[in-house]
Structure 1
Amino acid sequence: MTAPVSRRTVLLAGGAALAGGSLLGGGTAPAAAETAPDAQVAAILRRICPPRFPDRWYDVTDFGAVGDDATDCTAALRAAIETCHRRGGGHVVVPAGDYRTGAVHLLSRVDLHLAAGARLAFSQDPAAYLPVVATRYEGTECYNYSAFVYAYGQRDIAVTGQGVLDGRADATHWWDWTGGPPPNEGPDKTLLIQMAAAGVPVEERVFGAGHNLRPNLLQFNRCENVLLDGITVKDSPMWNIHPVLCRNVTIRGVTVDSPDGPNNDGIDPESCTDVLIENCTISTGDDCIAFKSGKDADGRRVNVPARYAVVRNCEMADGNGGVTAGSETSGGVMDIFVRDCRMSSPHLERAIRIKSNPDRGGTITNIDVRRVTVGQAADSAIEIVLNYANVTTGAYPPDVHGITISQLTVASAPRALNLLGLTDDPLRDIRLHQCRFDAITEDNVIENVEGLRLDQVWINGAPVDN
């Protein structure tokens, strides 16, 4: 079978147009271009240092927690965390058992350690996550229900161990706010976006009780030196793990098991600097890992990029995208490095995904992906689009350029490439190197791309570079 090719127009680096879908590229890049990203990865990893904690241990059962899946342990957990923090830090231990709780707020120098067999079973009552806290909801700052595990402005915090954080969201709790008959989140999402566009101060954007904006399972806001290690998280109301405006974040050995919920992204570092995500296993109802930086007017107001991140040795199953940038890109996404990941599922739509539109803006650049193995994908293996949510006009066109994907192999997918720039805002400098796509059944879609380079790329066994 011959390789499917696009029937649309591709713009090459020199500006000439080729009709009919010939995918021509520039040859192998100099060796320096290959080693420069490795040096950047090494520099990022040198800066990332997980927090360490004093050798003091506080068992939550000593503060009144009971792991009987019935007793409300919220007060006991808070007392243990506050005591640990007040005495200079250490480890708050949740032993084996099922502990019912509301919001858990971490404080500096505290490691919340869930032993094997421990389960935090979070309340399904929205009132358990009041009073409201400062948060970012889908890229827009406001006050809303607390994340189930939350920290604001703290240093040296962690959630570790082999236990489970169970959000207990389902079709009748939290997820039912996403659509259907009222109450649902639609009017509140619209109101929040309107408030941000009008410049309403953040402290006046108050939601929570009487509103329907879902909280995250874990959110760390403006924190430094954050560690998540070994835990399992499941069934969040929306995004599972959401560091916001944080620096020095390590997420390793974490399992995200949340494939059924709407907008159940796995790990979403938003406007964070120096992030390491490694050895994680993720299956979600939305993107597995998504780098974000704020949405529209409010994202431009805060104007902090997601920058300097390494994703390595992770496994992705269900999800709209394996590793994603966007769609909230207003502050920019740059210097993201993906290495040695595996992805496969009949419910994994795309492996590598970049998505934005002319309302979002922001610069997305220096995204470098290497050695990713994809078994099965349900849509395009690689998707880079600037018409997200069918928005094709706006005052803030994103600048997407400098994307490199090398040594990616795909065993089966309907389409290899879906690359959609805009007429007045093309994608630029996209390079694929030593990539192989097998069992492809549909044509590539490539439109408004300048400087597309395909070097040692095969589709269905046929070379598509020059």
Structure 2
Amino acid sequence: MNCCYRMKLLKIAAVCLLICSASMASAQDYYNVLKYGAKRDSSKLATAAIAKAIDAAARLGGGTIYFPAGKYLTGPIHLKSNITILLDAGAELHFSDNFDDYLPMVRSRWEGTDVMNFSPLFYGEYLENITITGRGTINGHGKKWWDYAEKEVKKSPGSKWQDEFKRLNKDVIAPDLPGWIELGFLRPPFIQFMNCKNLLIEGITICNSPFWTVNPEFCENVTVKGVTINNPISPNTDGINPESCKYVHISDCHISVGDDCITIKSGKDRAGRKMAIPAENYTITNCTMLSGHGGVVIGSEMSGGVKKIAISNCIFDGTDRGIRIKTARGRGGVVEDIRVDNIIMKNIGLQAIVLDMQYAKTKEEPVSERTPVFRNIHLSNITAQANAAGYLNGLAEMPIENVTFSNINIDAKTGFVIKEAKQVSFHEVHINTVSGPAIEAKSVKKLNIDGVIKDY
């Protein structure tokens, strides 16, 4: 065999080896859940099969857990670092409504309070590089959770789930005001990752969440893009609630839910102040929001603070309120440096814009760590049709400070009501009301009105 011929054979072998290696790598990157025992006709609970696929991928440093078209029944899915969940078009992931499937209880956060609770449906702690993506659907089958929490728990003296919750949460820092935590049956969030980095949720459709839908906690670099969330009229089924996170990007989402569409939070009362981790550096853009108590909401759980938030290019059509920032005495925390721009609101049932520091009615008290702060909030280029233009309600001991409205056009039955505030400016604001003044102010210092037009 001559030298040239031998070299050609070696080159061909090398190319074949590269092709084979690439093919093997590609095959290793994808872990089809059917090969691990999952059934795509919902005839068998796939929880164990999905866990096996995740474990297999994690052993090799990560990979993609692939769900081809079909209907899969599963309990909670606990992820590991460098794992992608890929739901192909036509894939439906149906989560069990058997409460026992969500035991043992895990570390969680519920309305800003740190607790041990039922496992979220998607869950992970201290992970990196997590993705849930595709054109498929995930269904939380929340109705049984809603009905039990709203009816059975209130009339029942106890259950094995309540007993377990109370056993595990003897030392929990409870909120200042009593609520669900005292009853001991807290529905799990749909998607809750805690203390994770580089989280992407993209393209999927989510429906029927038992509780809050997308709820990252203490995470860094979170992207939620092109996601559709549909929850019917139901208790506390907020859409996207990034809590005490840093660098959050929400865009191109379509949301219709039983509570607030997008809510920014940072912990509740003493527990939130103790953690003292703010929600900061969020951008929310190019989203549509339909049914819900609020379009984009900050609070009321904001005891760790909220700062540097940009909200732009969104449409609210049919929500109870448009932009809403809410808190109360006892929360503490500072909300500051908020920018809202280029928003269209239609069919708003109550107020287009709300800044309310008396979400819960309490008595005036000395300024302390319990005292919340609203300042440096700027809204511009907003067109709205609502029942009322706006409501600003500060505290006597801590007025809302430095709020500007620029280039605003609102059609409403009534105008703005402003109480306990200072440095409030209206510039080029057109308010078309059915009755009453465009702006009604009480206990307001440094009110600047420039170019305001009122029509009847």
Interval of TM-score (by shorter of Structure 1 and Structure 2): 0.7 to 0.9
1:402 aligns with 2:376: yes
Once residues 306 and 175 of structure 2 are traced to their aligned partners in structure 1, the CA distance between those partners, rounded to angstroms, is 25
Equivalent residue for 2:173? 196
TM-score, normalised by the number of residues in structure 2: 0.83
Shift of residue 95 of structure 1? 0.9
1:459 aligns with 2:431: yes
- Which residue type is aligned with residue 399 of structure 1? V
CA contact (8 A) 2:322 2:345 kept: yes
Once residues 416 and 190 of structure 1 are traced to their aligned partners in structure 2, the CA distance between those partners, rounded to angstroms, is 44
Residues 117-141 of structure 1: CA distance to partner in whole angstroms, max 9, x if unpaired? 1111101011111111111011011
Residues 181-230 of structure 1: CA distance to partner in whole angstroms, max 9, x if unpaired? 43499x9999979840599xxxxxxx99x941110010010000000000
Secondary structure at the aligned position of 2:330 is classed as: coil
Match of 1:390 among 343, 350, 361: 361
The CA RMSD over aligned residues, in Å, is: 2.5
Once residues 84 and 194 of structure 1 are traced to their aligned partners in structure 2, the CA distance between those partners, rounded to angstroms, is 37
Larger fraction in strand:
2
Match of 1:167 among 128, 136, 140: 140
CA contact (8 A) 2:364 2:397 kept: no
Distance 1:184 1:325, change over 3 A: farther
Q: Which runs of 5+ in 2 are unaligned?
A: 1-24, 440-448, 451-456
Equivalent residue for 1:11? none
CA contact (8 A) 2:123 2:193 kept: yes
Equivalent residue for 1:7? none
Distance 1:299 1:87, change over 3 A: same
Query: In the TM superposition, what are the counterparts of 1:333-352 in structure 2 within 5 Å?
Result: 333-345=306-318, 348-352=319-323
Shift of residue 463 of structure 1? 8.2
Once residues 253 and 231 of structure 1 are traced to their aligned partners in structure 2, the CA distance between those partners, rounded to angstroms, is 7
Secondary structure at the aligned position of 2:215 is classed as: strand
Equivalent residue for 1:204? none
Secondary structure at the aligned position of 1:404 is classed as: strand
Match of 2:262 among 284, 289, 294: 289
Equivalent residue for 1:442? 414
Once residues 311 and 371 of structure 1 are traced to their aligned partners in structure 2, the CA distance between those partners, rounded to angstroms, is 12
255-264 vs 222-231, which moves further:
255-264
Equivalent residue for 2:327? 356
Higher RCO by CA contacts (8 Å cutoff, separation 6 or greater): 1
CA contact (8 A) 1:229 1:253 kept: yes
Distance 1:104 1:393, change over 3 A: farther
Shift of residue 69 of structure 1? 2.1
Residues 421-443 of structure 1: CA distance to partner in whole angstroms, max 9, x if unpaired? 011111111111111101x1124
CA contact (8 A) 1:357 1:392 kept: no
- Which residue type is aligned with residue 79 of structure 2? L
Equivalent residue for 1:48? none
CA contact (8 A) 1:456 1:463 kept: no
Shift of residue 372 of structure 1? 0.6
Match of 1:74 among 12, 25, 47: 47
Secondary structure at the aligned position of 1:82 is classed as: helix
Once residues 109 and 444 of structure 1 are traced to their aligned partners in structure 2, the CA distance between those partners, rounded to angstroms, is 49
Q: Which runs of 5+ in 1 are unaligned?
A: 1-53, 200-206
CA contact (8 A) 1:386 1:392 kept: no
Distance 1:391 1:86, change over 3 A: farther
CA contact (8 A) 2:175 2:268 kept: no
Larger radius of gyration: 2
Distance 1:193 1:99, change over 3 A: same
CA contact (8 A) 1:175 1:261 kept: no
Distance 1:90 1:125, change over 3 A: same
Match of 1:127 among 87, 91, 100: 100
CA contact (8 A) 2:84 2:133 kept: yes
Equivalent residue for 1:316? 289
Once residues 414 and 198 of structure 1 are traced to their aligned partners in structure 2, the CA distance between those partners, rounded to angstroms, is 33
Distance 1:276 1:193, change over 3 A: farther
Once residues 258 and 426 of structure 1 are traced to their aligned partners in structure 2, the CA distance between those partners, rounded to angstroms, is 36
CA contact (8 A) 1:178 1:184 kept: no
- Which residue type is aligned with residue 281 of structure 1? H
Shift of residue 447 of structure 1? 0.5
Secondary structure at the aligned position of 1:81 is classed as: helix
Once residues 68 and 92 of structure 1 are traced to their aligned partners in structure 2, the CA distance between those partners, rounded to angstroms, is 18
Distance 1:392 1:92, change over 3 A: farther
Once residues 233 and 341 of structure 1 are traced to their aligned partners in structure 2, the CA distance between those partners, rounded to angstroms, is 20
Secondary structure at the aligned position of 1:75 is classed as: helix
Equivalent residue for 1:372? 343
Equivalent residue for 1:259? 232
- Which residue type is aligned with residue 256 of structure 1? I
TM-score, normalised by the number of residues in structure 1: 0.81
Once residues 205 and 175 of structure 2 are traced to their aligned partners in structure 1, the CA distance between those partners, rounded to angstroms, is 40
Equivalent residue for 2:445? none
Equivalent residue for 2:117? 144
Match of 1:430 among 378, 386, 403: 403
CA contact (8 A) 1:168 1:236 kept: yes
- Which residue type is aligned with residue 160 of structure 1? T
Distance 1:435 1:393, change over 3 A: same
CA contact (8 A) 2:217 2:244 kept: yes
1:65 aligns with 2:24: no
1:89 aligns with 2:101: no
Equivalent residue for 1:13? none
Aligned residues: 399
CA contact (8 A) 1:259 1:319 kept: no
Shift of residue 389 of structure 1? 2.7
Once residues 74 and 329 of structure 2 are traced to their aligned partners in structure 1, the CA distance between those partners, rounded to angstroms, is 42
Once residues 70 and 168 of structure 1 are traced to their aligned partners in structure 2, the CA distance between those partners, rounded to angstroms, is 17
Secondary structure at the aligned position of 1:78 is classed as: helix
CA contact (8 A) 2:113 2:174 kept: no
Once residues 150 and 86 of structure 1 are traced to their aligned partners in structure 2, the CA distance between those partners, rounded to angstroms, is 19
Once residues 193 and 421 of structure 2 are traced to their aligned partners in structure 1, the CA distance between those partners, rounded to angstroms, is 37
